[in-house]
Amino acid sequence: MNMTKSLISNVITNHHCLKFKAICLAATVLAVAPIVAGSASAQMIVFDPNNYTQNILTAAHTLQQINNQIQSLTNQAQMLVNQAKNLANLPTTTLAQLQSVNQKTQSLLSQAQNISFDVQKIEQAFSGTYGTVPANSSNATLMASAQTRWQTSIGAFEDSLKIHAVAVGNIPSNNSSMTTLVTASQSASGALQAVQAGNQLLALQSQQLSDVIAVIAARARADALEQSRVVTAESQGQQQYKNFSTRIGYQPANVTMFSGN
């Protein structure tokens, strides 16, 4: 940008110099006739009309060349001004706002209750709490596991609602950012500003897509945990029935109610 300003300054300086030369040349040509006329009374001077005419034509031709050079320099100066506009950066940015919105969504996803979005933790949960119920499980163990699965499902649905709320809450902020960027793009003074505004609009779309992915992931997690809870509950019911059916039934025995003396 400083180099561009320097070039424009040099062009303007050359422009003024050429103008000054043109004025001096014109003044010299106009001063020829009075000087010749004034000197005629003092001494005999031979006036050559052809030479005088040739000098006038030469001066006019030179003046036209200078004017052409001035016009060329003016065009170059305008070209440099346009290039400077094309290289100007966009004064508007929404990067910090988009990053803040993304961090909020990521924070909620990382706070997922009980079973988070982590492959190892999911494997650990399904190897112990979900899946086939061990045959030697006691009724107390089965009840505790069922309670854990129920709380996990409730927590997953709560997490899903929070993510939905954040995504909906981001809509006004995203609309504001979109309006700002579209306005900046329409009023861009050069190509670079228009491109930068377009890049920020793409970043805004990426952030909105992230919200959609987060909503889908949270809802899918809640549905998957609830379905797993239902399937495991069926397996637990079978095990509880098996425990009940294999219990030793009532065995009659003699009971002495009154002791006789």
Q: Are residues 45 and 120 in the same domain?
A: no
Q: Is residue 254 part of a domain?
A: no
**Which of 60, 86, 112 delimits the end of a domain?**
86
What is residue 237's three-state secondary structure? helix
With 0-12 / 13-18 / 19 or more C-beta atoms within 10 angstroms meaning exposed / middle / buried, residue 178 is middle
Q: Is residue 252 part of a domain?
A: no
Q: Are residues 211 and 161 in the same domain?
A: yes
Residue 40 CB neighbour total at 10 angstroms: 11
| Degrees, nearest 5: CA angle 171-218-98 | 35
Q: Is residue 45 part of a domain?
A: yes
| 4, two tokens | 């561009």
Phi–psi pair at 255, nearest 5 degrees:
-125, 130
Predicted confidence at residue 36, as pLDDT, reads 47
Structural domains of the chain, count: 2
Q: Is residue 250 part of a domain?
A: no
Q: Are residues 17 and 143 in the same domain?
A: no
DSSP-derived letter for residue 87 is T
Mean pLDDT by 10 residues, the chain (261 residues): 54 56 54 47 64 82 86 81 73 80 84 83 84 78 88 92 90 86 81 84 88 92 91 83 68 61 50
Tokens 């899946």, located at residue: 131
Residue 8's closest CA among 56, 77, 65, 66?
77
DSSP-derived letter for residue 89 is P
Q: Is residue 261 part of a domain?
A: no
Is 0.75 topped by the overall pTM? no
Q: Are residues 81 and 113 in the same domain?
A: no
What is residue 134's three-state secondary structure? coil
Q: Are residues 68 and 147 in the same domain?
A: no
Predicted confidence at residue 19, as pLDDT, reads 56
Q: Are residues 124 and 225 in the same domain?
A: yes
Dihedral in degrees, nearest 10, Cα atoms 171, 173, 179, 182: -90
**What does the alpha-carbon distance between residue 3 and residue 51 come to, in Å, rounded to a whole number?**
48
Q: Is residue 258 part of a domain?
A: no
Q: Are residues 110 and 238 in the same domain?
A: yes
Q: Quote the domain boundaries for residue 146.
A: 95-245
Q: Are residues 157 and 228 in the same domain?
A: yes
HSE, CB side, 13 Å, CA atoms: give it for residue 105: 26
Q: Are residues 110 and 228 in the same domain?
A: yes
Q: Are residues 77 and 109 in the same domain?
A: no
DSSP-derived letter for residue 133 is P
Q: Is residue 232 part of a domain?
A: yes
Q: Are 137 and 143 in contact (CB under 8 A)?
A: no
Predicted confidence at residue 141, as pLDDT, reads 84
Q: Is residue 110 part of a domain?
A: yes
Q: Are residues 63 and 42 in the same domain?
A: yes
Predicted confidence at residue 2, as pLDDT, reads 54
Q: Are residues 9 and 60 in the same domain?
A: yes
* Helix ranges (DSSP H) in the chain: 2-30, 32-40, 49-86, 95-110, 119-128, 139-186, 191-245
